[in-house]
Amino acid sequence: MTDSVAADTVAPQRTSAGGHGPRRVVSPARRRRKTLTAYLFLAPFLVLFTMFVLAPAVFGLWISVTDWSPFRDVQHFVGLQNYVDLFTAGTTTSGDFWQSMGATAIFVVASVPFLVVVPLFVAILLNQKIRAASAFRTVFFAPYVLGVAVVGLIWGYVLDTQSGVLNHLLHGIGIQSDIPWTVDVPWVWVSLVGVTVWWTSGLNTVIFLAGLKGINTELYEAAALDGAGAVRSFRNVTLPGLRPVTLFITTTTVLASANMFGQAYLLTTGGPGNATRTAIMYIADQGLSQNNMAPAAAMSYVLFAFLAVVSVVNFRLQRERVEKGGTR
């Protein structure tokens, strides 16, 4: 936002220096020509943006207030019926939808702490004066560039109950060796969280690392002069210094976990039963496989509303904490 202000203040200077003498006022004809040029530059993007972002956002909302079916020629407006159904116990979709929302919530609650704390820990290690820090960083980030299908294939076999490497290894060191990693609760959650940590931790790690590098080293020196040890300087310098980065990471990670799809689709296929069927999985299945498009569109907007609330709450909490921290 500050950038757009900067652009606004720069642009008039440029027009006055634009080879048309010292004229300050831009003539209407010239302004019209400039607007035309700008829209010519924007046109290719705006065509795509209108067709595949703006139109579907509105179209989706429309679908959600109709009885849309691909097998019918005429769709009827049904008002908020699809939404009411979702919030009414005993309708065809509400039970399964809320179960999938529950599964999504379990995954968010179980995964986000690990996806924030593990990368923070690794980033702090990498921020020490060590050799090969960049090599370690490369290794930790590498899984993130793999597609979820590859991740699913690898871990599908590592975690296989009968012939998986993990159970083999556990057996080798004398531990029970038939843990149903991908077929029974609670192990499915352990697996989904573990695989997600393996796959995406590198992203949050490099972001934390950049945040750590941004903390003024003089603050550490001042803390050391005050006699603060490692723990106290971590609490009083590192954590406050990382607050904005932690806010960013927590919010993006909550949203990413709430949008989880591939891991469960590939590793547990939503099972056992529908225990790990996430909201995205259920919406995609209802909308695109079961042709239940209108309720599915309504579900996607309900999920959107939840995620919007999460973001707002997160930012509020963080702002409060910053204000309290300021008065301390």
Please, which of residues 268-327 interact with another protein by CB under 8 A? 279-280, 283-284, 287-289, 293, 296-297, 300-301, 303-304, 307-308, 311
- Span 217-276, contacts to another protein by CB under 8 A: 244-245, 248-249, 255, 258-259, 261-262, 265-266
Q: In sequence order, what are the residues at sequence separation of 6 or more whose Cβ sits closer than 8 angstroms to the Cβ of residue 301? A: 60, 61, 64, 83
- 290 vs 270: CA distance, rounded Å: 16
Q: How far is the CB of 212 from another protein (least distance, A)?
A: 10
User: Which alpha helices (H) appear in the chain, and where do they start and end?
Assistant: 2-16, 28-49, 55-64, 81-86, 94-126, 133-141, 148-158, 165-172, 187-213, 217-225, 230-233, 239-241, 243-258, 262-267, 279-284, 293-327
- 254 vs 107: CA distance, rounded Å: 10
Residue with tokens 């003498």: 21
Nearer to another protein, 12 or 186 (CB): 12
Nearer to another protein, 259 or 274 (CB): 259
- Span 122-161, contacts to another protein by CB under 8 A: 122, 125-126, 128, 130, 136-143, 145-150, 152-158
Lookup: tokens for 44: 């290719």
The answer to whether the CB of 280 falls within 8 A of the CB of 101 is: no
Angle between helices 148-158 and 187-213 (to 10 degrees): 130
* 214 touches another protein by CB under 8 A: yes
- Span 186-205, contacts to another protein by CB under 8 A: 198, 202-203
Nearer to another protein, 11 or 175 (CB): 11
The answer to whether the CB of 303 falls within 8 A of the CB of 101 is: yes
Q: How far is the CB of 292 from another protein (least distance, A)?
A: 10
Q: What are phi and psi of 66, to 5 degrees?
A: -125, 180
Nearer to another protein, 89 or 135 (CB): 135
- 122 vs 208: CA distance, rounded Å: 9
- 143 vs 201: CA distance, rounded Å: 9
- Span 32-71, contacts to another protein by CB under 8 A: 34-35, 37-39, 41-42, 44-46, 48-49, 51-57, 59-60, 63
- Span 160-179, contacts to another protein by CB under 8 A: 163, 165, 168-169
Build a one-symbol-per-residue string for 66-105: x at contacts with another protein by CB under 8 A, - elsewhere: ----------------------------------------
Q: Which stretch binds another protein (CB under 8 A): 75-83, 91-99, 120-128, 178-186?
A: 120-128
Nearer to another protein, 87 or 315 (CB): 315
Nearer to another protein, 160 or 184 (CB): 160
* 114 touches another protein by CB under 8 A: no
Within 10 angstroms of residue 239's Cβ, the number of other Cβ atoms is 13
